[in-house]
Structure 1
Amino acid sequence: MRFARKAAGIVALGVGVLATDALATSLQISPVLIEMPAHANAVGMTLTNPGDEPVYGQVRVYRWDQSVLDDTLEPTQEIVASPPLVKVPPHGEQLIRLIRPVREPVSVERSFRVLIDEIPQPGTVASDSITIRLRYSVPVFVQPPALAGAPVLSWQLKRAGEGWLLCATNSGERHGQVGEVTVVTDRGEQALNQGLLGYVLPGHERHWKVPLADASIRGPLRLRAKINGQSEEATVQVLPSE
Structure 2
Amino acid sequence: MNTKTPAGTEQITVSNITIDIVRKDIKNIHLAVYPPMGRVRIAAPFLVKDDAIRLFAISKLSWIRRQQRQFAGQERLPPREYKERESHYYQGKRYLLHIVEAEGWPKVILKNKTWIELYVRPGTTLEKRHALMTRWYRTQLKKQIPALIEKWEQIMDVQVNGWQVRQMKTRWGSCNPDQKKIRLNLELVKKPASCLEYIIVHEMVHLLERHHNEVFLAYMDRFLPHWRQLKAELNKLPVRHEEWGY
TM-score range, shorter chain: under 0.3
Higher strand share: 1
TM-score with structure 2 length normalisation?
0.27
